[in-house]
Structure 1
Amino acid sequence: MTQIILPYKVKKESFVFERYFHPVYQTRITESDNSVHYDSRKPLEVIEDACLDNGSDFKGRLRSMAKILGPKKQYLYPALISEREAILLQPMNSHRNDDCIWINVEHIASDNGRSHFEHNHLHIKLGGNGIFSVRCSSRFLEKMYSNHYLIKNRLLD
């Protein structure tokens, strides 16, 4: 099911945010049930607005992550969108990159067999027959999971 919602509101079911090259829409959002939505803003703009909707700006969210996770590789810090709904989005490369793919970590951290790692790709089963694949190293994936649990235990539980 494809929907165009302007502006898209990040929610718990939001799963993957990726750059989409179209004359009007710049972001394709896939939800956990494999439904697809489009937004005219770039992925980072959608995420920045979601941070503001939940009480602080994106830079403030990154400073919070630096305090919890340490000062290294801040460009790969996840963005805590909502403490109340436990929405944590992980950039799969630098958030400064326009082509950065963002993934809702909760959907793969508690996936019950929905994802697997093979040949430097994380493969994630979506609703229906959908599969999403993103290139990453096993070390990055391990760090993403450990950061997710650290943040969840520190801020969200």
Structure 2
Amino acid sequence: MTDIILNQYVINKATSALLPAYHTDYQTTVWENNGQRFHVKKTPLQLMKAACLEGGADFDGRRAAVTHKTGITSKAPIPVIPQEQVYAFPTHSPKLHECHWLFYHHIKAIRRHPEITTHTYIIFKDEKELLLQVSYHTIERQLQRTSYCITRFTPYLTHN
């Protein structure tokens, strides 16, 4: 399989993770829930900012709205395209290169690393696994915060 390197990538409902890459030709590896993987020349944060604009607001505006509605100030989850239920959360400060972005609706479970407490397995709904150098507690908290964010941003559904 040849690696596809893209100049641009549009985050969508299939996007499950944005992984920072340490490569000379690209800066992000994108995982999609259909097994697709792409390498993109832009950073994960650049892709997130572009996706927020596509979704109707800029990244900083989305962050400010999350803080306003939830009180979350650091490592805030982002409603990337809330009308399509596309929500992502950072594993670290988005300013840091090691920040991964995980897309909430594609995560099936998280699992503690059996020996290394600073590492956590992310299990996606398509059964892919990702080992992150982030504590289980941090990932669990980010999932809870994102869930709360989703409830605050999802309009009440009317039942006819």
For Structure 1 versus Structure 2, the TM-score category normalised by the shorter chain is 0.7 to 0.9
Q: Which one has a bigger Cα radius of gyration?
A: 2
- Higher mean C-alpha deviation, range 122-131 or range 43-52: 122-131
Aligned to 2:120: 122
Distance in 1, Cα, partners of 2:125 & 2:143:
22
Are positions 1:98 and 2:97 aligned together? yes
Distance, in Å, in 2 between the alignment partners of 1:31 and 1:100 is: 18
Task: Choose which of 115, 129, 132 in structure 1 pairs with 2:130.
Answer: 132
Match of 2:44 in 1: 43
CA contact (8 A) 1:75 1:95 kept: no
Q: Deviations over 1:47-103 (max 9, x none)?
A: 1000111111110011011012215xx331012100111111111011111221111
Query: Counterpart of 2:81?
Result: 82
Runs of 4+ in structure 1 off by over 3 angstroms are 1-6, 125-130
CA distance in 2, matches of 1:100, 1:130: 19
Q: In structure 1, what is the Cα distance between the partners aligned to 2:34 and 2:46? A: 23
Q: Matched residue of 2:106: which SS?
A: helix
- Counterpart residue identity of residue 79, structure 1: I
Aligned length: 151
Q: Do the aligned partners of 1:51 and 1:58 also contact (CA within 8 Å) in 2?
A: yes
Unaligned runs of 5+ in 2: 156-160
Q: CA RMSD in A?
A: 2.2
SS for the counterpart of 2:74 is helix
**What is the CA-CA distance between 1:127 and the residue it aligns to?**
7.5
Consecutive unaligned residues in structure 1, runs of 5 or more: none
Match of 1:28 in 2: 29
* 1:34 and 1:127 in contact (8 A); partners too: no
- The amino acid across from 1:117 in the alignment is R
Task: Give secondary structure in 2 for the equivalent of 1:41.
Answer: coil
